[in-house]
Structure 1
Amino acid sequence: MTEPLSGKPLLKRSLLLCFGLAVMALGVALSIKADLGTSPISSTPYVVSLISAISVGTATILINAFLLLGEVLIMRRQFHAVQFLQLAVVILFGWLIDLFLWALGGLTYADYGQQWLICIAGILILGIGVSFEVTANLIPLPGEGLILSLCTVLPIKFGSMKVIIDVSLVIVAVLLSFLFLGGLFGVREGTVAAAICVGLVAKSVNRVIRPLERRLTE
């Protein structure tokens, strides 16, 4: 954000951010229930949850806390204290993921086609949530914050850096899965589909809700 906000604009952006996080969490939960592989950003937390028996939401919070620490180490004196609010954002996000996983506990599938239907729904919903989270333009999740931090010190554009971080998280998930679980878990064809399509969905939704950005500052 280019300037501080207060009053109504801050409240509007905060509510939009919370809405975006809730929609994103629902998308993540659906991706997990589809059992075709989670989105890249959730692949490592999901595998960690299988290894440690902690919830996916808790694993998401812990891993994002490490990503936030990475931001601090990269930015050093340029890291502003207000950015520690990213931790509050990811705590809410992790809690919402666990809430939706609980709410969707009875969701099952009978065949591979139904798995894909659930997976596609998760991708669409996750993309919509990302669009609202970005439109809020308030406090990013640590994963996004780390990408922004790296882009300030390296001559790499945001999109390219996001691909690097996403691929790195998937590689970590694959390694952890084979080392501790004896096979591949959490990374499948659905992970590839999410990597390709979530951003495209978010961009399409952004075109529709772009007028909302102006109203957020009124």
Structure 2
Amino acid sequence: MEWKDVLKRYLVFVLGLYFLSAGIVLIVRSTLGTTPISSVNYVLSLNTPLTLGTCTFIINMVLIAGQFWLVRGNRSRQDIVEILLQIPFSFIFSAFIDVNMALASDLHPSGYGSAMALLLIGCIVQSVGVVLELKPRVAMMSAEAFVKYASHRYSKEFGQFKVYFDVTLVTLAVLLSLAFRQSIEGVREGSLIAACLTGYIVTFLNQKIMTRKTLYKLVPALKG
């Protein structure tokens, strides 16, 4: 594969990160909670001087360190490269989150209906990001990679371990919120809706809208 094709694949991946970050920010701005993967980051950002992007980067670094621990004693050169590659992409993703938080700073839903609409738009935008992130097959973000290595380590199915992982994050976010403010913030009905809807939207986009054939026409490099 030529370097231009590789570059195009990475550009599509980075575009996916932008949409993913934008979707997360829209869900946060809906005031109905946030996604399970961002729940701990969001609670920390609410209770510390750190931005949501900065908290996201810190948690990603923890997950990257966790991956090195999971592959201990059986790590290959490919594993090391794959894990280290997450660092610059985590930085880019975290920066995108802070940029989009600033751009959406004046976005305040006027009622529950508009908040729910904003939540659903955020789920769609986030799902577009997930599809664009997965299609190039060049890298993984730290949360998904952590689940992959953990499922391999403990001989569990990826989807099953992903549920355990998400539930653990939400539980930790609730405990942190209670510890900081003696109330639950950042985890609401929107968190459950986003968790349930995103997978279905990703599947629909992947199979009906953003198919490989469609993306190949737009970015031929993805065909390789």
Bin of the TM-score, shorter chain as denominator length? over 0.9
Rounded to whole Å, the distance in 2 between the matches of 1:34 and 1:75 is 38
Measure how far apart 1:205 and its partner are. Answer: 1.1
Measure how far apart 1:81 and its partner are. Answer: 3.2
SS of structure 2 residue aligned to 1:36? coil
From the superposition, tell whether residues 52 and 193 of structure 1 become closer, same or farther in structure 2 (CA, over 3 Å).
Answer: same
| Contact kept? 1:19, 1:132, Cα under 8 Å | yes
| Contact kept? 2:86, 2:139, Cα under 8 Å | yes
Mark the runs of 5 or more structure 1 residues left unpaired by the alignment: none
Q: In the alignment, which residue of structure 2 is the partner of 1:55?
A: 51
Mark the runs of 5 or more structure 2 residues left unpaired by the alignment: none
Measure how far apart 1:67 and its partner are. Answer: 0.5
Q: In the alignment, which residue of structure 2 is the partner of 1:70?
A: 66
Q: In the alignment, which residue of structure 2 is the partner of 1:20?
A: 16
How far does the alpha carbon of each residue in 1:134-188 deviate from its partner, in whole angstroms, 9 at most, with x for none? 1121111100110110121222211111111111110110000001122101100
Q: In the alignment, which residue of structure 2 is the partner of 1:85?
A: 85
**Pair 1:105 & 2:90 matched:** no
Measure how far apart 1:6 and its partner are. Answer: 4.9
How many residue pairs end up in the alignment? Answer: 214
Q: In the alignment, which residue of structure 1 is the partner of 2:212?
A: 210
Rounded to whole Å, the distance in 1 between the matches of 2:91 and 2:28 is 19
Q: 1:11 aligns with which of 7, 14, 25?
A: 7
Q: In the alignment, which residue of structure 2 is the partner of 1:155?
A: 155
Which residue identity does 2:169 align to in structure 1? L
SS of structure 2 residue aligned to 1:80? helix
**Pair 1:37 & 2:39 matched:** no
SS of structure 2 residue aligned to 1:136? coil
Measure how far apart 1:82 and its partner are. Answer: 4.2
Q: In the alignment, which residue of structure 1 is the partner of 2:201?
A: 201
| Contact kept? 1:9, 1:217, Cα under 8 Å | no
Measure how far apart 1:201 and its partner are. Answer: 0.9
Rounded to whole Å, the distance in 2 between the matches of 1:118 and 1:179 is 29
Measure how far apart 1:217 and its partner are. Answer: 4.0
Q: In the alignment, which residue of structure 1 is the partner of 2:173?
A: 173
Normalising by structure 1, what TM-score?
Answer: 0.93
Which residue identity does 1:50 align to in structure 2? L
Measure how far apart 1:17 and its partner are. Answer: 0.4
Q: In the alignment, which residue of structure 2 is the partner of 1:183?
A: 183
SS of structure 2 residue aligned to 1:54? coil
RMSD of Structure 2 on Structure 1 (CA): 1.5
